[in-house]
Structure 1
Amino acid sequence: MELENVRILKEMRNSVNRKVNCETANINKTVSAAVKQVEDITYLRDMIGFENMPDNLVEAAYARLDHPDATLKELGESLTPPVGKSGIN
């Protein structure tokens, strides 16, 4: 019985560890993408100017600059009218 308890505990720890690793990787990926988006938006703003871009793209750009840590879903929901994750991407 003791061996079975040890095995179950070990299995639970491994499962939690895998979930934490997955969440950490997803957060790192989200942050990296947001940083790149801010860099790209800044470049476009400085090189061609927002006045030469479509209004919906400028609105999305300002949303990203105002909320650099937001997910794509959160950015889409902050727009007027709200758009989905695929619409903001």
Structure 2
Amino acid sequence: ASLSDLPDDHEAHAVIASYLGQLCHAIFAMTAAEIVVLGGGVMHTPGLLERTREAAARLDRGYLPGGARHAIVAPALGPNAGIAGAILLAQAARAENS
């Protein structure tokens, strides 16, 4: 079943949020990234972004320098981010080949 189709109290929500929190924390720890943008179908699950932020914060506990600047956000273009990015890449490729 899709995560969005499961009840809010289903354990899968916590598991996925934990995995995503671990991923984001690892990105912050291994790179100079200050912002991680999470999008796609699974991120349409209500509350998942906030749960992911909480999971990453639990892992960090103030350990990483600059942690106050770290943010986990949704794409600014919302559900249109993927198609908008593809169109921009196509336009850039076309301009480069013209």
| TM-score, reference length from structure 1 | 0.37
Which structure shows the bigger proportion of residues in helix conformation?
1
Greater relative contact order (Cα < 8 A, sep 6+):
2
Which structure shows the bigger proportion of residues in strand conformation?
2
Name the larger-Rg structure. Answer: 1
